[in-house]
Chains A and B, each alone.
Chain A
Amino acid sequence: MSRALLLADPAGRYINAGVIQISVTNAVIIGVMVVVFVLALVVPFPGRRHHDRTDRDR
């Protein structure tokens, strides 16, 4: 293996889709952030009280 290839080897793997090029690492990080975002919307907050009209009128 040539010296140039040795230097280029650890540059990482990339996803290519037309003009879009993104490293697998960055794509995974963005994916995890989207998952955390969705979980933040759907996972119930601890100690959450149901504020229906009856509760609020009390």
Chain B
Amino acid sequence: MTATQAGGTPPGTSSKSWTVRTRDRMSRVVPQGQVLPDRQPAYMSSWIYVFGVLTLAALIVVIGSGVLLAIGGVTWWHVSSLGHFVNSLHLWSVELFFAFMVIHLWGKFWMAAWRGNRALTWMTGVLAFLGSIGTAFTGYLSQTNFDSQWISGQAKDGLNSVGIGAFFNVLNPGQMLLWHVALLPLVLGVIVLLHVVLVRRHGIVPPIDSEGADADVEDAR
């Protein structure tokens, strides 16, 4: 059996099969070896480059604690010390997620990280930031306490004043809970995945003052 027979159509050759075309396209999304690189450019030896992955790590804890909360239900934390602990884990991982994300944003803003054909990476980051705010907001509405009632009452007035109150109702806790645990995490997850893939596709942005830094990247790898 030849290699072609064993593995199908060789990569790079055009095929009428959408499976082959999709496979070829996926294999070209990220340069070979860059999905999980074991070496990075020398200029990445700085703490400021750590905040992107810290944000991702916090997001994983947010999702994990959120899944545990979904098992116990929204009122679990009112009646159980374990539920209260998991709820606090969820809250504080969100706090860290936002703190890390904003410091990551500051760092990328001041190094003009949209340079070098990285505009889409920047914009997916913007969308992830805005999506995170919406997801956190619906979380505050799902606390099942007076705080969530007060926040939803204030938000209703604010959202109606800017003309977007017709599309959803923040006073509807069932709708907001579903948005928080299903719709928005799904949308946010896709945006974050796109953001990470684009970072791996285009590489980490070099410092502004490094002459020919993109060439140095290849040297360091």
Taking Cβ atoms with an 8 Å cutoff, the residues of A that contact B are: 29, 33, 36-37, 39-41, 43, 45, 47-49, 51, 56
Contacts and interface: CB of A to CB of B under 8 A. Distances in A.
Contact of A45 (B45, B51, B99, B219): B45
24 contacts: A29-B99, A33-B99, A33-B103, A36-B99, A36-B103, A37-B48, A37-B103, A37-B107, A39-B47, A40-B46, A40-B51, A40-B103, A41-B46, A41-B47, A41-B48, A43-B47, A45-B46, A45-B47, A47-B45, A48-B46, A49-B42, A51-B42, A51-B220, A56-B219
A39 B47 CA distance: 8
Interface of B is mostly: helix
B107 A48 contact: no
Contacts of A56: 216, 219
Contacts of B42: 49, 51
Interface of B: 42, 45-48, 50-51, 99, 102-103, 106-107, 216, 219-220
Nearest to B48: A40
A45 B99 CA distance: 20
Given A33-B102, A49-B42, A40 B50 contact: yes
B48 A49 contact: no
Contacts, number: 34
A49 B50 CA distance: 17
A55 to B, nearest CB: 9
Nearest to B99: A33
A40 to B, nearest CB: 4
Nearest to B41: A51
B79 to A, nearest CB: 23
A54 B50 CA distance: 27
B93 to A, nearest CB: 15
Nearest to A42: B47
B106 A37 contact: yes
Nearest to B43: A51
Contact of B107 (A29, A40, A45, A47): A40
A48 B45 contact: yes
Nearest to A55: B42
Given A41-B46, A48-B46, A49-B42, 7 more contacts: A40-B46, A40-B47, A40-B50, A40-B51, A40-B107, A41-B47, A43-B47
